[in-house]
Structures are given as C-alpha cells and as structure tokens.
Homo-oligomer: A and B are copies of this chain.
Amino acid sequence: MKNMTQEPRNILSQHKVSITNPRIIVLDTLLDFGNPITIEELQSKLKGKVAKSTLYRVLNDLKKINILNEFTSPDNAVVVELILEEDSHHHHLFCSDCGEVIDVELSDEFEMMLVKEMEKVQKELNFEIKDHRVEMFGLCTDECSNCE
C-alpha cells in the first residue's frame, strides 16, 4: 500500500494544519515505510530527529484529522498506519512470530455480508455501529523477510 503520490506538505495543508518540520518528517517516514508500523519501530527510525513528546503529539494531530489509524497487535504493541485517500478498505493480518502487520483486502461479497450482519446486530442490540475491523492472526512462512 506504499504510496508516493502524496506529499507531506500537501497532506497537511489539505487538512488545514500548520506545516512544521516534525510533521513532515513523521509523515515522510510513514509514507516511506508504507505499511502499518509499531510506535517502537517508528521511534527508532526518528531517533535524534523528532523528540519523543513531539512524536506523540504529531501522531495525535494526525488522528484528529483522521489520517491515522491506530490499533494494537496481539501482544498489545500499539501500531499506526496512515490512511491515504486512495487506500481501499482493508483489514490486518498479524504474524505472531515476527510481529509484522500486513494489509489484507477481503472480497466485496464478504464485506457486504458483514454489513448485513452488522445491521442485524444493530437492530437486535439497539446499538449504532459506526465501524468494524477484521483481524487475523497466524504465522508468515517463507515469504516473510523477518522470519526465516
């Protein structure tokens, strides 16, 4: 899902937040990595460039303008992922061995069925469902660059 068409400066100005160095650097790093990334890994990539407190602030800023998705891996590590306009709806696959997080697109057929299920749940439980998430856990095999 790597995407080089978007520029940090454009992203920021499109969302009407001021353009600052730390924001550009964080966005650059996320765009360059192109996959969901652990805060820990992100911190190590930014060591010496962006202060720890600033990193957390920038991540919060990005969440506020809805271009950052945050979730946790099975071992409770926080993972973030940029939401780019041309990204399609997708879910995540976690390797329990190396910790890698992989984007997965499921079929439209499946997504439609999930929506129907959610509608049923909404009615039964009188709950207004806004969003959903499908997570899959397992082991990446020989294709994974981390585990061998």
Please list the residues of chain A having a beta carbon within 8 angstroms of any beta carbon in chain B: 70, 72, 76, 78, 93, 95-96, 102, 104, 106-107, 109-110, 113-114, 117-118, 120-122, 125-143
A82, chain B: closest CB distance, angstroms: 18
Q: What are the 7 closest A-B residue pairs judged by CB atoms, nearest first?
A: A129-B138, A126-B143, A130-B138, A72-B72, A133-B135, A131-B137, A128-B139
Chain B residues near A131 (CB-CB < 8 A): 136-138
In the complex, the answer to whether B104 meets A121 with C-beta atoms within 8 Å is yes
In the complex, the answer to whether A121 meets B134 with C-beta atoms within 8 Å is no
In the complex, the answer to whether B142 meets A126 with C-beta atoms within 8 Å is yes
In the complex, the answer to whether A129 meets B137 with C-beta atoms within 8 Å is yes
In the complex, the answer to whether A143 meets B130 with C-beta atoms within 8 Å is no
In the complex, the answer to whether A136 meets B132 with C-beta atoms within 8 Å is yes
Minimal Cβ-Cβ distance residue in B for A130:
B138
Query: Could you give 8 example pairs across A and B, Cβ below 8 Å?
Result: A93-B127, A110-B117, A118-B136, A126-B140, A126-B141, A127-B143, A128-B138, A131-B138
A93 to B125, CA, bound (A): 10
In the complex, the answer to whether A143 meets B117 with C-beta atoms within 8 Å is no
Given A132-B134, A133-B135, A135-B135, do A117 and B106 touch, yes or no (CB 8 Å)? yes
